[in-house]
Amino acid sequence: MADYTKDDERLIAERFDDLIAACEEKGVFRYDDDRALVSRAFEVALEAHKGVRRRSGEPYITHPIAVARICVVEIGLGTKSVVASLLHDVVEDADISVEDVSRMFTPKIASMVDGLTKISGVFNADTSEQAESFRKMLLTLLDDVRVILIKIADRLHNMRTLGAMPREKQVKITSETIYLFAPLAYRLGLHAIKSELEDLSLKYRFPDEYNTIEAKLEETKQRHAALIERFDEPIIARLKENGVDFEISGRVKSVYSVWRKMQTKQLPFEDIFDLFAVRIIFRPSPVISERTQCWYIYELVTDIYPSRPDRLRDWITYPKANGYEALHTTVMGPEGLWVEVQIRSERMNEVAEQGVAAHWKHNYLTEDEELTTDEKFDNWLGRIREALSSPTESAVDFLDNFQRSLYIGEIVVFTPKGESRHLQKGATVLDFAFDIHSKLGLKAIGAKINHKMESIYTQLKSGDQIEVLTSKSAAPTVEWLDHVATSKAKNYIKNYLRRNRQESIEHGRELFEARMAELGITPSARVFRKLLPAYGSSTKDEFYRNLGAGVITLDGLQDILRQNSASKYLKFWTLFQGNKSERDNGMVVGRRDWEEDDGQEGKSGGGQRFEIAECCIPIPGDDVTGYRDPVSGKIIVHKTSCSELTRLASSHGENIVTGIRWSSHKAMSYLSIVSLQGIDRVGILLDLVGVITGELNINIRELKIQSHDGIFEGEISLYVTSTDDLNAVIAKIKKIKGVDKAQRINS
């Protein structure tokens, strides 16, 4: 490749000078040779990437410089992290080994560069190997958190320059980002970076929606600024009167958070009212604790504006697992708008902005010392370490469970002796029992929650005090897996069931072979063709397991063997399964329902085979993207906004198929589900059916309505031909007297 031009050299020098200035401003250079160390790393990286350019056309060296600057300015890391950032691609891209890095710099820097090199291969994997690689990558988090922080900085810069990448790469990279990197940034306390990663993912994944919301936020910017100013005035006056040293600022919600609320609540932009929040950052008094000052400021604010009790969030008594501390409240502001107020000290704010990296400063450590985090973060790392060492959980399952654990909120519950335990939101008595000890979980039969008897399936809430009740005869069942939220509990249950399953299979095989020996019959394929459908089993192992567990008995065995109709049972079962699949999909697989942009229609047989995704059930009019199943070769068609598609694209980006569109001439019916809520009254069910089937001639597959305390809720499964068709149905339903909400689900 051609060498750099004079303009390139000038650009490189400017970017590096900017990095050095940032290091000096943030106090990164603590020792005499720190600056020389960074300069030497820059020279090594410059030589390693000589002449190489990014897709944008800029010299490649500008990328590691930008990553290093993010580490300094936006995360708050030190000299070793800057050096590792500058060198993070040299081992992979140049003839430089980890041993060379160790010799030129230090073993610790070499270890960080080695970790970053291994991580870079994770997201280039073509199959589920990526999930296994991600598991290995997280081991570096346990060894040195800085490696993951640098990788997040690397991803942030790549996202900021994503416009130069082709569409297929954008889909894969944004899926990885929204699925793993944004949640990981959140869990590590990097809230500003998390928000930017989310916004950039939305910008490149759904550019039209992003641009529309951004434009509307810009249109309302002056009005919101005026509202914030009016809201702030009495608070500023009250805080000054009471001698509080503070700064106050207002912020509008990010584009992604507005879009997310529009999606989840099925609301237009105009109906999103909590668009801004106010943050009060105070300088603590030397004679009063930070916690006391937070509550004092809270009282001053709520004396002015009435608070909403259910929206008080106390993260100073019980900080989040990532170390986040603050007091959040929502109050009624001007013009009847709810406004969130966040109250933090300067230290709390720094931890909120820089996350786990801020602990180096506040624990008075240098980067040479081990990073000591607070107990909550250590507990989270401990749970990750436990999950990583689990021999029973597949890498893909681990990846999904890990991703879910990043964003899920936390609750704080108590043992009978008053010991606090942090669990993820949605945890049940079983999760609590397994969190205490595996033996307690395996023998749990119930609990006393706040001294009241409850089921082991009861979901816990913050403040609950739980006493687990046990029995020697208790044992986990498959049903338990549906009632636990934590990977720790799931792994213990799966381990037990797996061991128990094998024991049941062996016991069942012994019982069956003994019975067959009594009858003088040799087990054969013909025998099992009769037995399996008769006993409701699809495999021999399932039959043995059910027999060994006592679910079935061999009563009537001789009568079954005498029959000559096993094929009839099997044929009926197969046909039923096939019909169910067709009915649930709302179409027959293989019909010509999609086209690709080249005009070639999807076909059964020699052409491309398409199938509707059951997770999101797209219908004509939805923006769709395909996922090519690596086993069957079918293209599973998802809504582009489908969370399952995002998960698949993050792990198997090479199987994503873009450019799929609906055929314009089809007139098929597709299954869609509408949720309803409203005021119950006599005749509302008849009105619903009358509008849907009578006026609109729409076929209803299923109608489920429940009424309680004068309110009804329910779902209607119906067949429509397009989103226009569905929107017309919803519009009609909303006009029925008593209906308050009607919206599409499974999206």
All structural domains of the chain with their residue ranges: 6-204, 214-362, 408-485, 495-583, 586-662, 670-745
In SS3 terms, 95-152 reads as CCCHHHHHHHCCHHHHHHHHHHHHHHHHCCCCCCHHHHHHHHHHHHHHHCHHHHHHHH
Q: What share of the chain in percent tops pLDDT 70?
A: 81
Q: What single-letter DSSP state applies at residue 484? A: -
Burial 43-80 (b: 16+ CB within 10 A, else e): ebbbebbeeebbeeebbbbbbbbbbbbbbbbbbbbbbb
Active site residue ranges? 92-93
Between CA 509 and CA 525 the distance in angstroms is 15
In SS3 terms, 231-281 reads as HHHHHHHHHHHCCCCEEEEEEECCHHHHHHHHHHHCCCHHHCCCCEEEEEE
pLDDT of residue 155: 92
Q: Quick one: CA dihedral 488, 492, 493, 498, positive or negative?
A: positive
- Across the strands, what pairs with 706? 713
Tell me the CA end-to-end span of the chain in Å, nearest whole number. Answer: 48
CATH class of 214-362: alpha beta
What is 6-204's CATH superfamily?
Answer: Hypothetical protein af1432 (1.10.3210.10)
747 confidence band (pLDDT: 50, 70, 90): low
Task: Kindly report the number of other CB atoms within 10 A of residue 470's CB atom.
Answer: 16
Q: What single-letter DSSP state applies at residue 357? A: G
Least confident of 31-40, 71-80, 129-138, 179-188: 129-138
pLDDT in tens, 40-77: 999 999 999 988 888 888 999 999 999 999 999 998 88
pLDDT of residue 201: 94
CA of 673: how far to CAs of 201, 670, 677, in Å? 28, 10, 14
* Non-local CB neighbours of 481 within 8 Å, separated by 6+ positions: 490, 493, 494
Pick from 689, 659, 656, 663: nearest CA to 587 = 663
66, two tokens:
């930008």
Helices 487-519 & 540-548 angle (0-180, nearest 10): 90
Between CA 250 and CA 279 the distance in angstroms is 6
pLDDT in tens, 286-316: 888 999 999 999 999 999 999 988 888 888 8
* Non-local CB neighbours of 464 within 8 Å, separated by 6+ positions: 411, 413, 414, 449, 450
* Non-local CB neighbours of 465 within 8 Å, separated by 6+ positions: 413, 414, 415, 416, 418, 449, 450, 451
Q: Who has greater pLDDT, 128 or 687?
A: 687
Between CA 603 and CA 578 the distance in angstroms is 19
280, two tokens:
């009060």
CA of 104: how far to CAs of 36, 71, 79, 399, 494, in Å? 12, 22, 15, 36, 49
Least confident of 483-487, 547-551, 600-604, 667-671: 600-604
φ, ψ dihedrals at 508, nearest 5°: -65, -40
**Token pair 């931890």: residue:** 351
Q: Alpha carbon 269 to chain centroid distance? A: 24
Between CA 92 and CA 121 the distance in angstroms is 9
pLDDT of residue 430: 94
pLDDT in tens, 490-537: 888 888 888 887 888 888 888 888 888 888 888 888 788 888 888 878
pLDDT of residue 598: 41
Residue 286, classified by CB atoms within 10 Å of its CB into exposed (0-12), middle (13-18) or buried (19+), is exposed
Between CA 462 and CA 424 the distance in angstroms is 10
CATH class of 670-745: alpha beta
Tell me the DSSP string of 399-420: HHHHHHHHH--EEEEE-TT--E
Alpha-helical regions (H) of 520-642: 525-534, 540-548, 557-562, 566-585
**Token pair 């000559």: residue:** 564
Burial 549-568 (b: 16+ CB within 10 A, else e): eeebebeebeebbeeeebee
CB-CB contact of 130 with 123 (8 Å): yes
pLDDT of residue 279: 93
Mean pLDDT, rounded, for 617-641 = 86
259, two tokens:
């879009």
Between CA 248 and CA 167 the distance in angstroms is 41
Between CA 75 and CA 89 the distance in angstroms is 20
Average pLDDT, the chain: 80
φ, ψ dihedrals at 648, nearest 5°: -65, -40
pLDDT in tens, 155-177: 999 999 998 888 888 888 888 88
Helices 525-534 & 540-548 angle (0-180, nearest 10): 60
pLDDT of residue 157: 95
Residue 341, classified by CB atoms within 10 Å of its CB into exposed (0-12), middle (13-18) or buried (19+), is buried
Pick from 48, 123, 119, 39: nearest CA to 82 = 39
Task: Kindly report the number of other CB atoms within 10 A of residue 657's CB atom.
Answer: 18
pLDDT of residue 60: 92
The domain defined by 408-485 carries CATH number 3.10.20.30: yes
Alpha-helical regions (H) of 283-357: 290-304, 346-354
Between CA 157 and CA 332 the distance in angstroms is 39
